[in-house]
Chains A and B, each alone.
Chain A
Amino acid sequence: MGPVLAGVLQLLALIGALAVVHIPLGNYMAGVYSSDKHWRVEKWIYKGIGADPDTEMRWPAYLRGVLAFSVVGVLFLYLLQRIQGVLPGSLGFSSIDPDQAFNTAVSFVTNTNWQSYYGEQTMGHVVQTAGLAVQNFVSAAVGIAVAVALVRGFARSRTGELGNFWSDLVRGVIRILVPMAAIAAVVLVACGAIQNFSGIHEVGQFMGGSQQWNGGAVASQEAIKELGTNGGGYFNANSAHPFENPTPFTNLFEIFLILVIPFSLTRTFGVMVGSAKQGYAILATMATIWVGFVSLMMWTEFTHHGPAFELARGAMEGKEVRFGVGASSIFATSTTLTSTGAVDSFHSSFTGLGGGITMLGMMLGEIAPGGTGSGLYGMLIMAVIAVFIAGLMVGRTPEYLGKKIGSREIKLAACYILITPALVLVFTAFAMALPTPANSMTNSGAHGFSEILYAYTSGANNNGSAFAGLNADTQWFNSTIGLAMLFGRFLPMVFVLALAGSLGEQKPVPATAGTLRTEKPLFTGLLVGAILIITGLTYFPALALGPLAEGLAS
């Protein structure tokens, strides 16, 4: 079996698995967020944090919940790193510097998991397990909660009430992420990923010299790392490390974990707004872009010219021999089209155009299928924009799911889509204009620029993957990328929740023959086109000077 065929078969297997799982999982999640019963363990938690899970919240209250919870998360994580030196179980690692501790705290709370450190050489068991792993769960649950609040805005009428943040958060963790991660971790352990609390082993190398291996609760963190579209590896090599991702099967399984919740949320959306078809339309939009990007990536990586490529039958530099070009292409595209940022190969080593595809995937706003929750709300925002333009073309003031898209709604959606381009472009321009940041580049020319463009794109979009090559552990990058992650996560949430509130207060407009049918393939095509054109136009000059200049050179 040739590598191309192997890649295509893996892709088909993945699509099949997702197609089977998304309906029951989506239905289950819709049930979780619609049920009015509390589990006993949840009641203990509510009692512990002093929250009333039955109080309906309007959007400002919901937002306050999100922000308060996240601020506490950042502070806790920051402190934990700063006192690591005196904590037990720290494998002798010292405390983290302020700028890096800030960067890492923000990174994990924002579901980004950008890492400007080497996990196995910096973080001990306590920080990894009690700090980082906890955020892997709760930051993902926060994302889903905000998405569910937006869906409720569409589904409800004549009320500004969007549900209860604490209840949504706790249920997301207890009923969705923890059980799924547990199953996934068992599968990973069964396939060879490690799960222990052992110390550092000194191992002699085959070629002479020695190597340090450390153990840890790797499989459990790996499971939630992918499932919650987090991406922060236990080891610096991330999912290219055999302790995290031992076999081609675990590789495919991890891609499945990355994609399963974001894709299934479209079903949850469909169920909650009372039209499975509307969910399918969003699913189809996400799937079209994802399959398109994966195919494009495989094509560029398999067909690159040059003797080395032809010998290896594809662009093998920076890719694991265990996985090959096909699986690495699927992983790289999936991790950048979601806000995961886990990597099983090195994006910097992809062909120029391949690297561009990973960047463009993030630049789309990570909506195909996107991060847990953030993918759905990002896509719905784009749908609002597309409905606004297309809706006019059917001769009515635009409406989506029976809600009118007026000036207030379009203002909020427009603010949302402005944020990440502003963060990416402004920070990149400053990094290029100032004398010192460029010293962090490993390469010169277009590839060097790509390293910096990738870093801010990854940060502002809460992806967390790195192009590699860039020395990001400087005060400049730790601070600016930290800010990009912070604003890139929470400013959009402000507008999403405000939009949800605005939509929920409206009375629904009944659909007639004159209404734009948003569940039809025509609309899906329109939405895909709008996403590609609007993002493409925003980033075209920057992409031209980085990956395009490099990719088209040969």
Chain B
Amino acid sequence: MTTRTENQEDSMSTATPTRAPHSDVPTGHKPAEGRVGAGLFDPRQLLTSLPDAFRKLDPRVMVKSPVMFVVWVGSLLTTVFSFKDPGDWFGWAISAWLWLTVIFANLAEAVAEGRGKAQADTLRKAKTDTVARRLVDDRLVDDREERVPGTELRIGDLVVCEAGDIIPGDGDVIEGVASVDESAITGESAPVIRESGGDRSAVTGGTKVLSDRIVIKITTRPGETFIDRMINLVEGAARQKTPNEIALNILLASLTIVFLLAVATLPPLADYAGTHLTMVVLVALLVCLIPTTIGALLSAIGIAGMDRLVQRNVLAMSGRAVEAAGDVSTLLLDKTGTITLGNRQAAEFVPVSGTTEAEVADAAQLSSLADETPEGRSIVVLAKEKYGLRERHQGELAGADWIAFTAQTRMSGVDVDGRRIRKGAAGSVIAWVQNEGGTVAEDADGMADRISEAGGTPLLVAVKDGRGARVLGVIHLKDVVKDGMRERFDELRRMGIKTVMITGDNPLTAKAIAEEAGVDDFLAEATPEDKMALIKREQAGGKLVAMTGDGTNDAPALAQADVGVAMNTGTSAAKEAGNMVDLDSNPTKLIEIVEIGKQLLITRGALTTFSIANDVAKYFAIIPALFAAVYPGLDKLNIMDLSSPDSAILSAVVFNALIIVALVPLSLRGVQYRPVSADKLLRRNLTIYGLGGLVAPFVGIKLIDLLISLIPGIG
């Protein structure tokens, strides 16, 4: 049992400070916040994006959105026909409002893109042209350098960066260790450590070396670096339509064709009935019927969805991944840093027989003062809070010889006043006691085992004084589950998402923590292969899996997962394999990513429903206006009692244009998402956007008609 405890510690952060990726990155993120909420929308953005909206009138741009392209062609037609009959105010008014419809649609897209542009500009500043110090000899024997522009670097080149240098391109550190300021991409001012070997060797071009000297092997061609990809992503330049967006576009295109058929076949029918329909009226009817609302806002919704991720410091490498996030049914969450706080904390001091708790606390505190790891600090904090032992500073004790914690010794301690105190991993401390000629109390082993079984980690405290070397007691280090995690997992369960905790702990420990946190399942003593097998098993059952990872050994699983979120602190292999990168390196964000994915799909569905439901009212406005003159009975359909046929048609067109602007904030912000069951969600959205979509235009068209009828000479 003791052996196992040791192995366990080896894999734990206690003994391997290099592998504590989450603790050294202050995230400023609290789990309680970060609901998918309101993105900021400033009406002034509409004005500033106006030039872009006009630029997008280019037919080569318009043709990408089939629905709006039809409106564009219609606007052109009505304008041409208005020129043929320039005295007719109606033709001009319809033409003007049709052009406005197109411009409003472009405006929505331009506003959505504009928000990304600001971010891209900040990134560009970081990407100033750098001069690289390339090593002439790539075997590291000769350290002569040559200065080349960063744009001329090739994959495999070795470059040197020293304090103050901007790293010229993406790569891996192959020699040295340095602190790097990555605020240009993460917005986080605290520097991070980058060193050769291990999981923290990746550096990003455009970031700045603050101290020391490192040699970097370039892994990316210029123009394809992480920062270049980020700029493309946030600007929407690399935006490709996502599968669901394509499917929705097909449906919208087919609805457009249906309405095109209904309108195009109308003239002979109207002629037979004894009334002639002008081109202006036909185009107006067509534009009112085709799903312009969703057609206009569709790309803005997609861009805004990506943007909401960017605002949370997550970069999705493809929109496909964002959509997939909404479909995720299994979440793999790393225990450490996601479910529990990054590090274990001391929970209690257990004395062996013959010693008191206070003695153990005192010795534990003294021996931990030289331990700067979070675990060590937590021992000092516990001693202070529970046993009232004031924190002593290293300078206070004269003549003390401090032994700092190292990964090799796995012990820390102090030699003072003839006492030698040590604290550390069970194996190390036992070896030390035996080495000092002491004996290990028999109950110490049992205590350590009990703590392990309960899911904790035991550390031993030992002393050598006048009475010889002996173990005083055990420190119980415990995983602390983050606040609010249980509620989060309950929410996920209601959303139909299963959570699986991944941990290197033994099954007993894992089970204890899984129960405390409220996750659905756990994978203990997880190796990368186990992780991979779990993902494949879930996927074989038709489930979509999301996970986070940072190490090179996570890369295959990240690539296999449907949504793989790589931590920015991770290796470049991990970042390449995942389809999202979290710049904050906060694994809890996976939950938010899922919510953003769902919100994106809901917004699309809601506005599609709204758009189609709108048509009912428009028919009731336009059909009586067109035909009541020849078939007076049809005037009974004029239930809105619109003032005149011209005003009725114009009101419908105006409503159709204005509703686009009115819905821009919603499409950028996204429909509110609540983690409830699908049934409740559907009922709620169907009521708001289905019934609302039926009723709203009746009110809106009537109001616009009232205003239009006030204009003298009209109506």
Chain A interfacial positions (CB closer than 8 Å to B): 385, 388-397, 402, 405-407, 409-411, 414-415, 417-418, 421-422, 425-426, 428-430, 432-433, 438, 446, 449, 507-510, 512-517, 520, 522-523, 526, 529, 533-534, 536-542, 544-545, 548-554
Contacts and interface: CB of A to CB of B under 8 A. Distances in A.
A302 to B, nearest CB: 20
Interface string B562-576: 000000000000000
A522 B599 CA distance: 21
B326 A390 contact: no
Given A515-B496, A540-B619, A541-B623, A533 B265 contact: no
A406 B497 contact: no
B674 to A, nearest CB: 10
Contact of A510 (B244, B289, B329): B329
Contacts of B619: 537, 540-541
Contact of A407 (B246, B498, B606, B689): B246
B493 A513 contact: yes
B251 A553 contact: no
Nearest to A425: B265
Contacts of B335: none
B416 interface: no
Interface in B480-494: 493-494
Interface string B242-280: 011011101101110111011111111111110000000
Interface of B: 243-244, 246-248, 250-251, 253-255, 257-259, 261-273, 285, 289, 323, 326-327, 329, 493-498, 540-543, 597-599, 601-602, 604-606, 608-609, 612-613, 615-616, 619, 623, 627, 631-634, 636-637, 673, 677-679, 681-683, 685-686, 689-690
Contacts of B541: 510
Contacts of A385: 251
A522 B497 contact: no
A492 B631 CA distance: 36
Contacts of A522: 679, 682-683, 686
Nearest to A441: B272
Given A414-B250, A417-B254, A548-B633, 16 more contacts: A385-B251, A390-B609, A392-B606, A393-B682, A394-B602, A396-B601, A397-B326, A409-B247, A417-B258, A429-B265, A429-B266, A429-B268, A446-B273, A534-B612, A544-B634, A552-B637
Contacts of B540: 507
- Interface centre among A388, A539, A542, by most chain B C-beta atoms within 10 angstroms, is A388
B243 A397 contact: yes
Given A406-B247, A512-B496, A526 B268 contact: no
B270 A393 contact: no
Contacts of A432: 268-269, 271-272
B633 A551 contact: yes
Nearest to A395: B598
A411 B250 CA distance: 6
A368 B495 CA distance: 34
Contacts of B265: 425-426, 428-429, 542
B598 A533 contact: no
A385 B258 CA distance: 14
A522 B244 CA distance: 24
Nearest to A414: B254
Nearest to B608: A389
6 contacts: A395-B597, A397-B601, A425-B265, A514-B495, A523-B682, A534-B255
A526 B686 contact: yes
Interface centre among A508, A514, A539 (most CB of B within 10 A): A514
A544 B679 contact: no
B262 A425 contact: yes
A432 B605 CA distance: 38
Contacts of B285: 541
Contact of A397 (B262, B327, B542, B608): B327
Given A397-B326, A513-B494, A537 B616 contact: yes
A217 to B, nearest CB: 42
A533 B616 contact: yes
B327 A393 contact: no
Contacts of A550: 633
B627 to A, nearest CB: 6
A405 B327 CA distance: 13
B70 to A, nearest CB: 15
A438 B273 CA distance: 13
Contact of A395 (B247, B542, B608, B681): B681
B678 A542 contact: no
A541 B679 contact: no
B542 A402 contact: yes
A395 B683 contact: no
B631 A512 contact: no
A237 B670 CA distance: 59
A520 B599 CA distance: 23
Contacts of A426: 261, 265
B602 A538 contact: no
Contacts of B254: 414-415, 417-418
Contacts of A544: 623, 627, 631, 634, 637
Given A432-B271, A549-B273, A549-B627, A516 B682 contact: yes
Contact of B251 (A414, A520, A542): A414
A512 B497 contact: yes
Given A402-B542, A426-B265, A513-B495, A449 B608 contact: no
A508 B681 contact: no
A430 B268 CA distance: 8
A549 B633 contact: yes
B637 A388 contact: no
Given A391-B605, A438-B272, A396 B327 contact: yes
Given A432-B269, A449-B272, A526-B686, A537 B602 contact: no
Nearest to B635: A552
B37 to A, nearest CB: 16
A433 B686 CA distance: 41
A389 B540 CA distance: 27
A520 B270 CA distance: 43
A443 to B, nearest CB: 12
Nearest to B594: A395
B602 A393 contact: yes
Nearest to B619: A540
Given A392-B604, A429-B268, A512-B329, A552 B633 contact: yes
B396 to A, nearest CB: 58
Nearest to B680: A394
A548 B327 contact: no
A210 to B, nearest CB: 41
Contacts of A536: 616
Contacts of A529: 690
A148 B281 CA distance: 46
A21 to B, nearest CB: 32
Nearest to A411: B250
B605 A392 contact: yes
B688 to A, nearest CB: 10
A54 B623 CA distance: 55
A421 B605 contact: no
A522 B690 CA distance: 13
Nearest to A544: B623
Nearest to A445: B273
A541 B263 contact: yes
A405 B247 CA distance: 8
A520 B542 contact: no
Contacts of B246: 407
Q: Which of A396, A422, A515, A520 neighbours the largest number of chain B CB atoms within 10 Å of its CB?
A: A396
Given A396-B326, A410-B251, A508-B542, A428 B269 contact: yes
A410 B636 contact: no
Contact of A513 (B599, B634, B673, B677): B677
B496 A553 contact: no
A542 B268 CA distance: 11
Contacts of A405: 247
Contacts of A537: 258-259, 262, 289, 612, 615-616, 619
Contacts of A510: 329, 541-543
